[in-house]
Amino acid sequence: MMQRSDLKSRWVVLVLTAVILAGSYFNYDGPAALKAPLQETLHLSDTQYNLLYSVYSFPNIVLPLFGGLLVDRCGTKASLILFVSTIVLGQGIFAAGVALRRYDIALVGRTVFGMGGESLTVVQTTIQAVWFQGKEMAFAMGLGLTVARLGSVINDWVMPAIYQSGVPGLLPPLEPASALSFGFFITLLSLGCALALLLLEVRTDRFLAAQHKREQAQPLLHDTAAGAEAVVEHMSLADIQHFSASYWLLTVSCVVVYATILPFNNVAAGVIMGKYGVSLEVADRLMSIPYLIAACINPFMGTAVDLLGYRAVMLTAGAAALAAVHLSLAWTMVPVVLPLVAMGLSYSAYAAAIWPSIALVVDGRAMGTAFGLTTAVQNGGMASMPIAVGTLRDTTGSYQAVEIFFACVAMVGVAVGVALNVVNHRAGGGLNRVAKRRDALEKKLEAVIREDLEADSQSR
Ligand SMILES: C[C@H](NC(=O)[C@@H](N)CCCCN)C(=O)O
């Protein structure tokens, strides 16, 4: 029976989903590229500035856990339009709040934006899973993340330029709301791509329905969400109790290690400007280095993980490298490019290992629940970390204490990584093995058990 993954149009779907997410990542990092102008215009302390990131994550301490359920219930088409519309609305409110010099409205905008932003990644992953099921799924997802991260990089380059010069006849210069309004147009581009995807999905439904009628096959599953059931099965909260120690260690690792990457990016311009005395534009270009490197090497890192294994080792080494990066930013005056390049390499290695590791340690049936739970817990870290960072910066007056704090959190990541290696070794070392070899061993084991069972039933 013909499926979506048999159609060439899956590549169009990949481009559309990647551009949709790039629009979201572009605007997630909007405040980071405009840190100084935003603080100046709205008279914000570091704590208040960082709260713009915490409020993005607050709703997501719960939402991603139910994101899969919502996608299952409402379908990918409806939830895609819902979540993209939510980020359009959120970015519009945020830009309006900044234009009106109303910090409270800006916070509401970031909260609404967050309510769409993280759930959008859930529905995007589901759509990619449905269209690439049994085909190039890992490659497609890696490429999707690369394009999304390019959204962050382009943001770092474009936002300060628009802030400086505005858009003649449209947006005034030296006004942060101008750059944020440009971000609003980018969300409209995401909405345009989402509508194009909706049309493509509807046409594909019709095409497959006609095809299935011809084949006298089962009735068509009328929504991609239903089609997704084979891959991203119904979320069941009861599954959580069966998750292994490795899963929980991976989740803790995800929280602490990501807490030293994304919240660092939120204040990176401030760290670089304060320490090296460069302009906002130069600081913004420099801060794009980690994400630019990650965007370029993500698919290769993913391939390396697939070919070599060593996931748990890579997670631990990535955390250790991040601790070294933050310590060097706290205590040394090495050229800033070096720690930023090292951060990009460690981030990419870490991201390439963490998400497939989660897929390896949970039962396929509980995959949606597992990813939803990890993302929800991760957002707990993303919500609290900016508050801690802002408070530290405001009370000490410099970023040195913040950098030492980041390094300590990364060291917790190293400790969790060591524990993960021990637990994983005792459980057979699956995370450090090559997936194909692991699959082969599991298949062998299954065959032996099946033979035993058959011999058992024959002897009775
Ligand atoms: C793949 C991973 N994504 C996440 O960790 C998201 N939960 C948070 C992304 C925040 C920007 N929208 C990543 O970006 O490495």
Contacts of 334 (CB under 8 A, 6+ apart): 328
Give CATH for domain 4-228+236-459: 1.20.1250.20
> Between these two residues, 167 and 67, which has the higher pLDDT value?
167
State yes or no: pLDDT of 224 exceeds 70.
Answer: no
Atom of ligand 1 nearest to the CA of 64: 7
User: What integer pLDDT is reported at residue 303 of this predicted model?
Assistant: 79
Q: Where are the domains positioned within the chain?
A: 4-228+236-459
Nearest CA to ligand 1 atom 7: 375
- % of the chain residues with pLDDT over 70: 87
Q: Separation of 148 CA from ligand 1 center, angstroms?
A: 9
Q: Separation of 309 CA from ligand 1 center, angstroms?
A: 22
pLDDT band, very low/low/confident/very high, at 242 (cuts 50, 70, 90)? confident
Atom of ligand 1 nearest to the CA of 347: 15
Ligand 1 first shell, C-beta below 6 A: 24-25, 28, 117-118, 121, 145, 258, 262, 351, 375, 378
pLDDT winner (highest mean) among 121-135, 184-198, 224-238, 276-290: 184-198
> Between these two residues, 136 and 192, which has the higher pLDDT value?
192
User: Across the chain, what does the average pLDDT equal?
Assistant: 88
Give the residue, out of 121, 253, 293, 345, with the most ligand 1 atoms within 8 A of its beta carbon, to mutate for a pocket test: 121
Give the residue, out of 110, 118, 371, with the most ligand 1 atoms within 8 A of its beta carbon, to mutate for a pocket test: 118
- % of the chain residues with pLDDT over 90: 67
Please state the pTM of the whole predicted model: 0.85
Weakest mean pLDDT among 38-42, 61-65, 215-219, 375-379: 215-219
306 close to 138: Cβ distance less than 8 angstroms = yes
Q: Separation of 356 CA from ligand 1 center, angstroms?
A: 14
The ipTM value here is: 0.97
> Between these two residues, 12 and 133, which has the higher pLDDT value?
12
User: What integer pLDDT is reported at residue 389 of this predicted model?
Assistant: 96
User: What integer pLDDT is reported at residue 177 of this predicted model?
Assistant: 96
pLDDT in tens, 395-450: 999 999 999 999 999 999 999 999 999 999 999 998 998 865 455 555 555 565 56
pLDDT in tens, 121-136: 878 877 887 888 777 7
